[in-house]
Amino acid sequence: MNNFEVIIGVEIHIELNTKTKMFSSAPNLFNSKPNTNVSPVDIAYPGTLPVVNKEAVIKAIKLAKALNMNIEETLFFDRKNYFYADLPKGYQITQQDKPIGSEGNIKLSNGDVKIERIHLEEDTAKSIHKGDLTLLDYNRAGVPLVEIVTYPVIKNARQAAEYVNSIRELSSSLGISDAKMEEGSLRADINISLRPYGQKNYGTKVEIKNLNSIANIEESIDLEIKKQTKMILNGEIIEQTTKRFDEEKRDTIIMRTKTESIDYKFFPEPNIPPIFIGKEFIDSVKINELPWEKRIRYQNEGISSDYIEKLLSNVQYSDFFDQVKYSNREKFSKFFFAEIVSLANKMSMSINSLNLNKADIEILLKKMDDGEISGKHAKNIIPDLINQKSTVQEIIERKKMKQISDKNILNDMLDSIINKNVEFIKKNFERPERVRKFILGQLMKESKGQANPVIASEIVNSKLGE
């Protein structure tokens, strides 16, 4: 773009889905009543001491393994000192000098992204702005975070958006976070600078904070690239600023200008001595199938790209889908989204909340294959399977849904229908499709919708050809 090279680095904060906070026993719950999930440790009452959350460490190791990182065998924590209204302690416990993971990478469709580090830390309180007031909710203070920092190697908005989405899918797939950007459990900060091609020194970076959707990431980066390009071409000086993306104005807005770097006065956290975890413990942490591995498997199973992306973007979908043991995966993917996911959406429920028995779904699919029930029957059966109130067979018998697939029975019914409608058939002899639809319609009416449409169509076609 105008002979300028775009340099982008991304910092992602992921809230880990542990039961308790990073350094205290306070519950780690989203959407609770403000200031109800708070421990004296979270706000640094005198005499309190932090205790490291083992589950948070395990989840960080899982992420480090998935990103092919070097994993530190000893945990070191540091104190980051600064004053801000949402920082109750006046400092944050983090990992500065020796992060838990370093030197990793993640594969994207348009090239790998090198990751410098991931480190554990605690979240701040949440600021809620109402008019001239700023309210503070300390429920978020102390929530365990993993921060993921890339090298400045991303070249455009699309690659940045794909990277953040890949981290989101990975975190959800590993089960370490729900990674919901709209709820703030995954937050992305983007650093952007431009420099003439061939120049080694970086340009002045502009940071865009707390982007809350993949679409906003891509749009805000493209906007910022255009702004910086215009400023450079006009001879204007780009200042190091922090911005936010205004969703109403669809623009990046300056929050503050940085005149100099902040001195956080990092030093080792005095209340947490180094903790040796060792190679044996690290090796004991296992990770399940990764999203890019799952994508290849789904592709080999013949599933459409649209369905694959939906499965990868929702871990509940992919878990449910994978647990149903039905051999024709392509056929099941269509049934899954058309009937099960659509029902969950219609009822405004998560797919897990339907509490469907996977074995019942397998039985349902087999009965469709065997011609015992139709697709329409299956659609009507699924709502009755919610919360496992009845078995498939019980529903079929109660609702008298068993499909008629016996060729002799269907043949006799069709002979009767044809004999009753000889005049109609003669009158429309030159319009065989109309005759076919009419006869099949009469058959469905006669059989009360129980006739197997595939077998019935075969018999009708054979009879009309006579």
- At residue 405, the pLDDT reads 66
Q: Are residues 220 and 318 in the same domain?
A: no
Give me the pLDDT at residue 365, please.
Answer: 93
Same domain for 277 and 295, yes or no, is no
Percent of all residues in the chain with a pLDDT value above 70, rounded to a whole number: 95
Are 430 and 299 contained in the same domain?
Answer: no
Does residue 376 lie within any of the structural domains? no
Q: How confident is the model at residue 462 (pLDDT cuts 50, 70, 90)?
A: confident
Predicted confidence at residue 465, as pLDDT, reads: 62
Longest dimension (CA), the chain: 98
Q: What pLDDT digit, counting tens, does each position of 176-195 carry?
A: 999 999 888 999 999 999 99
Q: How much is the pLDDT for 417? A: 82
What pLDDT sits at residue 434?
Answer: 81
Residue 449 shares a structural domain with residue 325 = no
Neighbours of 394 (CB within 10 A): 11
Pairwise CA distance, residues 24 & 410, whole Å: 70
**Same domain? 244 vs 142:** yes
Q: Which of 89-103, 329-343, 359-373, 398-412 has the lowest mean pLDDT?
A: 398-412
Mean pLDDT of 81-85: 89
Q: Is the pLDDT of residue 129 over 90?
A: no
Q: Within a domain: residue 384?
A: no
Percentage of residues in the chain with pLDDT exceeding 90? Answer: 61
CA distance 386 to 351: 10
Whether residue 377 lies inside any domain: the answer is no
Domain boundary, last residue among 336, 354, 372 = 354
> What's the alpha-carbon Rg for the chain, to the nearest Å?
30
Please indicate, yes or no, whether residues 257 and 327 belong to a single structural domain of this protein: no
DSSP 4-73: EEEEEEEEEEEE---SB-SSSSSB--SSPSTT-S--TTTTT-TT------HHHHHHHHHHHHHTT-EE-S
Q: Are residues 137 and 240 in the same domain?
A: yes
End residue of a domain, out of 282, 305, 324: 282
- For residue 447, pLDDT beyond 80: no
Report the alpha-carbon distance of residue 318 to residue 402 in Å, rounded. Answer: 31
Q: Is residue 68 part of a domain?
A: yes
Q: 286: which DSSP letter?
A: -
Quick check: is 402 in a domain?
A: no
Question: Domain count of the chain?
Answer: 3
Q: Residue 10's CB: how many other CB atoms inside 10 A?
A: 27
Residues 9 and 103 in one domain: yes
Ranking 1-5, 52-56, 108-112, 307-311 by mean pLDDT, the lowest is 1-5
Q: Which domain holds residue 295?
A: 291-354
- 32-38-43 Cα angle (round to 5): 140
Res 1 pLDDT > 60: no
- Rounded mean pLDDT of 51-55? 97
CATH number at residue 411: 1.10.10
Q: How far is it, in rounded angstroms, from Cα 62 to Cα 58? A: 6
The dihedrals phi and psi of 69, each to the nearest 5 degrees, come to -100, 160
Report whether 216 contacts 251 (CB < 8 A). Answer: no
- For Cα atoms 196, 198, 203, give the angle at the middle one, nearest 5 degrees: 40
Residues 229 and 192 in one domain: yes
Rounded to whole angstroms, the Cα distance separating 313 from 172 reads 8
Using DSSP's 3-state secondary structure scheme, residue 362 falls into: helix
Q: Is 79 part of a structural domain of the chain?
A: yes
Last residue within a domain, chosen from 282, 313, 331: 282
| Predicted pLDDT of residue 251 | 86
Shared-domain flag, residues 278 and 296: no
Q: What is the mean pLDDT of the chain?
A: 90
Determine the Cα–Cα distance for residues 216 and 254; give it in Å rounded to an integer.
Answer: 16
For residue range 235-250, list pLDDT tens digits in order. Answer: 888 889 999 888 888 8
Is residue 400 situated within a structural domain?
A: no
* 20 and 126 both lie in a single domain: yes
**pLDDT for res 410:** 77
**Residue 429 confidence (pLDDT):** 67
* 286-317 burial code (b ≥16 CB/10 A, e <16): ebeebbbebbeebeeeebeeebbebbbebbeb
Contact between residue 404 and residue 447 where contact means Cβ atoms under 8 Å apart = yes
Which amino acid makes up residue 211? L
In a domain, 234, yes or no: yes
pLDDT (0 to 100) of residue 446: 74
Of 113-117, 130-134, 154-158, 171-175, where does mean pLDDT reach its minimum?
Answer: 130-134
The pLDDT value given to residue 62:
98
Mutual angle of helices 432-446 and 407-420, in 10-degree steps? 120
CA atoms of 182 and 121, how far apart (whole Å): 21
Q: Which of 188, 191, 201 is nearest to 240 (CA)?
A: 191
* pLDDT in the model for residue 428: 67
| pLDDT for 37 | 95
Q: Is the pLDDT of residue 261 over 50?
A: yes
* pLDDT band with cut points at 50, 70 and 90 for residue 464: low
Band (15; pLDDT cuts 50, 70, 90): very high
- Tell me if 41 sits within 8 A of 23, measured CB to CB: yes
Pairing of strands 133-137, 144-150: unpaired
Q: Tell me: do 103 and 210 sit in the same domain.
A: yes
